[in-house]
Amino acid sequence: MHLGKFSWVIARLESDYSDGNIAEITASIVQDFNNLASNPGHEPFVASIKANLDRLQDVLANSSLSDSPPSVRAIMSSIGADEFLGSKYFERLKRVIHENQLSPQQAAAALTAFRTETESYYLTTSQINEGLRKVGAEFEVLEPGETELGIRIPVEQGSRTLKDLSKDANQWHNTLMPFSEVFGEDREPVRVRVIATSSWEFYLAAPLPVLYGISLCLKGVNAILRELVTMRRLAQELRDTGTSPSLVQQFEGETKERLDGKARELADSMVEKNFKGDEARKNELKNHMTQSVKHLAKEMTKKVTLEIRVELPKPEASEQDKEPTEAIRVAAQRAAEMKKQIELNMNLYQLDFEGAGQLLLEDEGEQNEQMENE
């Protein structure tokens, strides 16, 4: 866990709870049930409960942490914050109401206990936030014009060596290299911003066009994996219906061939549309990009998560006049459009679809190592 990101999460928890008036809305719901207990079936109180629940759901949905990248979600889960914000919090509150729906008085009492638990949690986060600021703990935030590619590799504590870390880092370096040449302007390699521990977390800096290319690739890889999951399910259905084992084996054997073919198609498309160099280098990049696509697919099946963050630069004015020039406006618009497309691509890339982890595609290098060890 990266301390700067943890500090940011703690600060956002406190501000979202306060700014969203979550305590006040919850208190209003408790009061509504107390009123209903005194006046059973009174329609205005029933309507007020519904209105306050709708209001609370809207506030929780619009929290700055409600649509967080994987690294932030992992931090929130590790400290139990996902139970006190967002959809989980709302579902917990609704469950309390449902379990006591026959008695408004019991519902009010249960909701009071729920509210007390919530206030205790947020009091703790407030104290932690104050303490972190007093000791000058680092605070992670992207400055205008900065970008970040996050790679989070799940690792069981004490299970890997420094050589393993070096190997993984080198593989990711090789995987990302062709994106710099195909989508970047200066062909600079992706640079390391921060490295965090517990799981292996690499936070890298890269130009916006390079991150756009990576997001485009992730969108394509996600579609490939969905297709492979569908094929795996079909194979299981064939096995369950008593289809000949040889036919099932033949069908399953197409998974790797399918990955190879689709990876090549995706790589060729990206290089053809975006690389401006000579033909010989273009062909080399297609081969390299194909390996990058396959590596991304195989890492994604191992529950490795990737995230992209972009903070657009502030518009700059020319020295002669205080208004941005046309060139600056065009560049700013292009950057904004690219950021929007990255967000759309990363929204489509969500590795929570059922069955993805069951693919567990192996790297060819890993297969060779296994063969040497046998």
Is 50 exceeded by the pLDDT of residue 374? no
- How many C-beta atoms lie closer than 10 Å to residue 351's C-beta? 17
Average pLDDT over residues 62-85: 85
Tally the domains of the chain. Answer: 2
Q: The tokens of 54 are what?
A: 């709708």
The predicted model scores a pTM of 0.73
Residue from 290, 289, 309 nearest 181 by CA? 289
131 or 322: which carries more pLDDT confidence? Answer: 131
Residue from 160, 148, 137 nearest 72 by CA? 148
Identify whether residues 101 and 28 lie together within a single domain.
Answer: yes
Over residues 328-360, the pLDDT tens digits come to 888 888 999 999 999 888 876 654 444 455 555
141, part of any domain: no
139, part of any domain: no
67, part of any domain: yes
Q: The tokens of 249 are what?
A: 């084996």
CA–CA distance, 140 with 7 (Å, rounded to integer) = 7
Residue from 203, 79, 220 nearest 152 by CA? 203
Sheet with strand 191-196: strands edge to edge:
191-196, 200-205, 147-153, 305-310
Contact between residue 196 and residue 1 where contact means Cβ atoms under 8 Å apart: yes
Over residues 176-233, the pLDDT tens digits come to 999 999 998 877 888 888 887 667 888 999 999 999 999 999 999 988 888 887 777 7
Domain final residue, candidates 134, 168, 202: 134
140, part of any domain: no
Domain final residue, candidates 108, 134, 160: 134
Identify whether residues 32 and 83 lie together within a single domain.
Answer: yes
312, part of any domain: yes
Contact between residue 123 and residue 84 where contact means Cβ atoms under 8 Å apart: no
Identify whether residues 363 and 334 lie together within a single domain.
Answer: yes
Write out the residue range of the structural domain in which residue 362 sits. Answer: 147-373
Identify whether residues 177 and 111 lie together within a single domain.
Answer: no
Identify whether residues 323 and 347 lie together within a single domain.
Answer: yes
Q: Which of 155-169, 324-338, 356-370 has the lowest mean pLDDT?
A: 356-370
CA–CA distance, 318 with 323 (Å, rounded to integer) = 7
**In angstroms, what CA-CA distances link 50 with 10, 57, 118, 124?**
30, 11, 21, 30
320, part of any domain: yes
Query: Model confidence at 361, in pLDDT bands (50, 70, 90)?
Result: low
Identify whether residues 313 and 179 lie together within a single domain.
Answer: yes
Residue 255 exposure: Cα atoms within 13 Å on the Cβ side: 22
Domain final residue, candidates 102, 134, 166: 134
Identify whether residues 72 and 204 lie together within a single domain.
Answer: no
Identify whether residues 104 and 200 lie together within a single domain.
Answer: no
**In angstroms, what CA-CA distances link 119 with 21, 101, 115, 184, 317?**
12, 23, 6, 48, 47
